[in-house]
Every structure is written in structure tokens, then in C-alpha cells.
Amino acid sequence: MKLPSIDRLAEAARAAAVRFPFIIACAVVAAVAAIIAIDADEQSRWVRLTACATLGFPLFFAIGLRAERFGWAGAREIAALAVGFGVLAAFYWRWGGWSDDTAALRYFHFNAGLHFLVAVSAHLGFREPNGFWQFNRALFLRFLLGAVYSAALFSGLAIALAGVDNLLGVSISGESYFRLWIVIAFVFNTWFFAAGVPRDVAALDRLREYPAGLRAFAQYVLLPLVGVYLVILSAYLVRVLVTRVWPSGWIGYLVSALAALGILSLLLVHPERERSEHAWIDRYARFFWVAILPAVVMLLMAIWQRVGQYGITERRYLLVALALWLAAIAVYYAVSGSRSIKAIPASLAAIAFITFIGPWSAYATSRSSQLGRLRGLLETNGILVDGSIRRGAADVGREDAREITATLRYLVRYHGTRAIDPWYEGGISTVDTVGDGTGPSERYEAGLRADLIIRDLGIEPVDGPREDGEFRYYQAVGADQVRDIAGYDFALVDVDLVASRHIVGADTVELAVDPEDRRFDISRNGRRVLGVGLDSLLAAADDARSPDYGRDASSIPRDALRLDVSGDGIRVRLYVDYLTTRETAGGVKVENARGQLYVRFVDTP
């Protein structure tokens, strides 16, 4: 086998830089900004620059492919590039007014739209079904190959650096390995990928090459998984119809996985649909699009329930948009029997951009929905009258207080207080003494700001309702500090409270959570001697959650979950230091719990 020479590699790198100069420039800018961000005192601006530069990869790739295919030159190409730079500049400028959560969501939202645009940019306006598939296959395989090369290069160089550190005594900091990874991931990987992009896109439509491994992967890996998901969702549909219990919000994960795997399997075997010996692919395609419709209907029902209860948020909006898209595309392919796959990435790109900006976007719609919910709650309770706040106007019930708390915390965290500023004489700053302006805040500060506003209304903040499948974490501040053992004979430290057994003196003490009776049990020598209801424990945990006790609202005071119980010859003091719960159809389930247990036996069994 003839290995490529250094000259050939250098020529390929030069050709890629000439062909896609702005992509390579964005890669270098992203790497430099990310490296500076590691040690920078003000990291936010460098993280923002890194994110915007990485958006330049797909953006300028799509522009470059379109320019090549249509022969853009001179003023037209300059105008397209100017639009690209304008989009990145606008994104960079707007980033400063978003919270970290919103910025991350917007980044991935826009990035997804750009990647779908890349898939179709060179083929919009051309009927080249095979060329479209071959082009995207080449990109996909080049991406995988680049990931393998990058991983191998990083591993080899990291081992070399470790050798220099340990054998030659040259100190290599941990940050050096991260910097190396940044350079390889952003610069090398991007450059390698760009060097492998097919040049003659039109010629790909005549290419009949098809890797047999793709069909095997789709036929023997993806299709069985699709079948398993369909069976589970069909069984769940029967359960919903029989029990008349509204579909769980968790169904979104399974439907999303089913859609992704099913569509991927169809895309991978697409060229084989033209061959008579693979007629089963057409039958499978028609079956898949019909079979997925009931699952999509259940997903829409579950989302509709959440929207009706708690209003629209960005994630619910996007999930609704994807569910409606999936329903529309399924009906289209099931009815028309079309074999064109270009409609899938093209429609996804359109939806991504339409839902990203404008008064109809996920972000503007969510803000309006939650603001409307808050206004309605305050007006119903006589707190907001003719657009002005009336403090202490009514005794607000716990459920309304919960809704007001959740809605206001959401608004402050994701959209700020600008919309409610006119409600206050002198502005919201007279109440919100924590926030600097009316913009959004990060989670910790948003909780403080929202709770200040809520208490000013004469309402005690109440934690919001749990989402289906939602995890909650509770961590006691200073849990590792020594506690007083006076009055007890034995101390068990950092024990598993969900299920564990311990030898305590001459006795055996067992700890367990009974999910059916919703009880925390303590047994002595195989006989249950104490039981504590989980509902009261979890209520105490929720009541103790407050951003006042740390950087995260899941932090609780050190001894907030202390239980003193006794019975049947044993006295126990229990400190719950760490607790994880998950919302299920049957209620809140304790997933993990650890803490300290102090035991005294008051008689002899």
C-alpha cells in the first residue's frame, strides 16, 4: 500500500483552505477563544466568541457549497458572505442579553438548523435523488473518519506529553491536555473534514456505490430497535385506552428515539429502494410512517396536557413543533408513497429557522404564554388591578402561590423582569434589589430575585409542580462535617438509606425504602421496628430547598432533614445528607439517598 507523501497531505490541506477559507478561519478563532477562556477572568465573552465561531462552520459551509454549485462570483458571493458575517455578528451581540440556559438552547437550536441547511444547500433546485444521498453519505462517513483520526491523534500526543512529564521531568499542566484537545477538535478535525468534501457534486448522481455494511446496519440493528419501540408504544397505547389515564410526558423520549431510528434506517437504505430484490424497503417505509402516527398522537396529547396545565415554555414549544412536523411528514409519505428524502432535512431546516426568530418563535411565544399566566393569576387574586400591583389584596391559596412562584421564577431566569416592570410604581428595581437591570439571570440569582418579588406581594414562595420523569436533587450543605453523637451508642456514616445492612454491636440493622407503602423502614435483626412516611420527608425536603443555602436551589440547610424517631427497643437519629427523587406515574420515587444514622438500643431483644 502506497502511503500518502507529506507533499500530498500539504497540498490537500492547502486546497481545503483555499476552497473553504472562512471555515478554517472560524476554526482557528474558535480554538484561540476557547484556549483563552480557560484562564480568563471574564470567560463569558470568550465562550460567546467560541460559540459564534463554531456556528460559522456550518453557515459558511452551506454558503460555500451553494456558491460552488451555482457559480456565484464577485458581488453575489461577497453579498452571501456578508450576510453570513452579519448573522454571526447579530448572534454574538444578542447573546449578551440571554441567560446561559437560553443562550445554550438558542445555540443548539440555530446550529441544528444550519446543519440541516448544509444537507440540502447544494441540491435545492436540482432533481438528483441519488446524488443527494451520495453527497450526504460522503459527509457522514468523512465526519466519522475525522472523529477517529482526531481521537487517535489526541491519544497519541497526550501519551507523548505524559511521557515528557514523567520521563524527562518537564512539567506539563492538566490544562495543556485540554488545550491540545481544543486545537485538534476545532482546527485539525474541521480542516480534515473540509479536505474530504466532494468537489463535483453533480457527478455524484451517477455514482452507484453503496456500502453493504450500511444496509446490514440498518436491517439488522436499526430495524429490530424500531420494532421493539413500536411494540412498547403499542402496548402503552392499549394501556392508555383501557385505563383512560392521560399519556405520560416521558413518552416524548421514546417517540423521539423511535422517529430518529426509523428515519435513519430509511435514509441509510434509500438507494436500495430502486432494486427489485429489495422491494421490502418500500413496504417497510409505508408501514413505518403509518405505524408511527398513533405514537405521535399520544405525544401530542401528553404535551397538550402540560401546556394546558403550565403554559408554553421553549422546550414544550419545540417539542410540539417537532411532533407536528413528524405527523405531517408521516402523512405525506404514507399517502403519497414518495421516495424523495430531501424533504426531511429541508423541512427541518425551515422549521428550525422559523421557530428561532420573530413574534411566533419559541422564545417570544413562551414569554407571552408565561406572562399571560402570571397576569391571569395575579388578576384573579386581586393583586394586579388595571395594570398596577396591589400588595396584600388577597389571601392567595397554596396552589395559586405554587403557580405564581413557578411562573415568576421561569420569567426572571429566561426572560428577565422587563415585561412586569410597568406594573410597579417606580419600576421593579424598588423591589428587586438583587438584579442589575431587568434582564434574565442565572438560576441562583433568578431564584433570589423571583422570591423577593413574590414575598413583596405578600406570598410565601412554594416550589412548583413536578414534571413527569423529573429528577430532583437535594444536597445538605456541610454534610461532611462531624455531628454530635451524644445520647447514642453507635454512628453509621455515609450509609445507603435506600437498601443496606449493617452490623451494629450484636445486632443487625437494615435500612430500606418501601415504594408501595411509601415508607422508609428500619429493621432490627430482620424485624421492622420503625417506619417513617416518605411523603412527610419529601415535603420537608421541598420546603427546605432554597437558593439562600448555596449556589444551587437544590442545596438545603445542613440539618434540615433530621429525623428523631424511636420504637420497639430502638432510638434513632437520622440525617439525610443526599437525596435524589424522580416523578413517576405512581408518585415521587426515591432513587438514591445517603446520610448518617445514630442508633441507641433501649432494651435487649
Instruction: Please report the DSSP string for 531-552 in residue order.
Output: EEEHHHHHHHHHHH--GGGSSS
- Residue 146: pLDDT above 70? yes
For residues 273 and 344, which has the higher predicted lDDT (pLDDT)? 344
For residues 373 and 543, which has the higher predicted lDDT (pLDDT)? 373
* pLDDT band at residue 51 under the 50/70/90 scheme: very high
Task: Read off the pLDDT of residues 318-340 as tens digits, 9 standing for 90 and up.
Answer: 999 999 999 999 999 888 877 78
**Residue 551 pLDDT:** 39
CA distances from residue 359 to 38, 362, 368, 370 in whole angstroms, order as listed: 37, 9, 9, 14
Mean pLDDT of 274-295: 80
**Residue 406 pLDDT:** 86
Quick one: angle between helices 174-183 and 129-167, nearest 10? 160
**Residue 325 pLDDT:** 93
Place of cell 440498518: 218
pLDDT mean across residues, the chain:
83
Beta bridge partners of residue 556, listed in sequence order: 476
* pLDDT band at residue 552 under the 50/70/90 scheme: very low
- Residue 605: pLDDT above 50? no
Which pTM was predicted?
0.78
User: Which residues, at least 6 apart from 440, have a Cβ–Cβ distance to it below 8 Å?
Assistant: 97, 98, 99, 102, 412, 413, 414, 415, 416, 446
d(CA 277, CA 394): 74
Mean pLDDT of 91-95: 92
Task: Read off the pLDDT of residues 7-43 as tens digits, 9 standing for 90 and up.
Answer: 777 888 888 888 889 999 999 999 999 999 888 777 7
Place of cell 497519541: 156
* pLDDT band at residue 277 under the 50/70/90 scheme: low
Q: Which of 410-414, 461-465, 544-548 has the lowest mean pLDDT?
A: 544-548
DSSP H helical segments within 415-527, as ranges? 443-456
Residue 126, sorted as left (phi over 0), alpha (psi -120 to 50) or beta, turns out to be: beta
**Residue 466 pLDDT:** 58
User: Do residues 563 and 536 touch, judged by C-beta distance below 8 A?
Assistant: no
- Residue 380: pLDDT above 50? yes
| Chain centre distance of CA 250 | 14
Range from 367-371, 397-401, 535-539 that averages highest in pLDDT: 367-371
Cα dihedral 384→388→392→396 (10° resolution): 10
**Residue 5 pLDDT:** 63
**Residue 443 pLDDT:** 72
Range from 145-159, 199-213, 423-437, 577-591 that averages highest in pLDDT: 145-159
For residues 75 and 55, which has the higher predicted lDDT (pLDDT)? 55
Paired sense of beta strands 527-533 and 519-524, if any: antiparallel
User: Do residues 580 and 591 touch, judged by C-beta distance below 8 A?
Assistant: yes
* pLDDT band at residue 271 under the 50/70/90 scheme: confident
Q: Residue 322: is it exposed, middle or buried by C-beta count within 10 angstroms (0-12/13-18/19+)?
A: buried
Range from 30-44, 184-198, 229-243, 536-550 that averages highest in pLDDT: 184-198
**Residue 516 pLDDT:** 67
**Residue 368 pLDDT:** 93
For residues 74 and 323, which has the higher predicted lDDT (pLDDT)? 323
d(CA 386, CA 423): 9
Task: Read off the pLDDT of residues 497-510 as tens digits, 9 standing for 90 and up.
Answer: 888 888 888 888 88
Q: Which of 351-360, 447-456, 462-471 has the lowest mean pLDDT?
A: 462-471
**Residue 546 pLDDT:** 57
- Residue 274: pLDDT above 90? no
Mean pLDDT of 194-217: 83
Task: Read off the pLDDT of residues 180-198 as tens digits, 9 standing for 90 and up.
Answer: 999 999 999 999 999 888 8
Nearest to 270 by CA among 259, 284, 256: 284
- Residue 468: pLDDT above 60? no
